[in-house]
Amino acid sequence: MIVKALRVGLGQLIVFGDWISRPAKQKRDPAAQAKVEQAAQDLALYQFHACPFCVKTRRNLHRLNVPVALRDAKNDPVHRQALLEGGGRVKVPCLRIEEQGQVTWMYESKAIIAYLDQRFAQA
């Protein structure tokens, strides 16, 4: 019970630290931002709110100014089941990418961040 309280407290501390030190959003002209928002409609991030790797991934999304749907795989049983069935395991962060009718489930924060940087940093 003490360990769980400690984990919850540390998780909230991580979320607070993220909130006060969040990077500035990338600036784009309205047409370029509209293209990014259109491309982001095919993405969803399955995550736990206080997971440090999820926080790291959300910070990158914020910095790149990419509005990706966030799916709570910890507290929402529907999203948790979708992650298990689609990705094969409940592990976060996981980026669901839908392109040309194909769905890819990308795990690991470093891989997700590299993918997002490659796809949206110059957009």
The pLDDT tens digits for 74-121 are 999 999 999 999 999 999 999 999 999 999 999 999 999 999 999 998
Query: Which pTM value belongs to this model?
Result: 0.88
Tens digit of each residue's pLDDT (9 = 90 or more) over 33-80: 999 999 999 999 999 999 999 999 999 999 999 999 999 999 999 999
Please tell me the predicted confidence (pLDDT) of residue 70: 98
Q: Would you give the DSSP letter of residue 71? A: E
Give the CA diameter of the chain: 51
**63-66 long-range CB contacts below 8 Å, 24 or more apart?**
63/23, 63/24, 63/25, 63/26, 64/25, 64/26, 64/116, 64/117, 64/120, 64/121, 65/25, 65/26, 65/27, 65/28, 65/33, 65/36, 66/36, 66/40, 66/116, 66/120
CATH number at residue 12: 3.40.30.10
- Number of folded domains that form the chain: 1
**Residue span of the structural domain in which 46 resides:** 2-22+31-120
- Sheet containing 94-99: which strands, arranged edge to edge? 69-72, 43-47, 94-99, 102-107
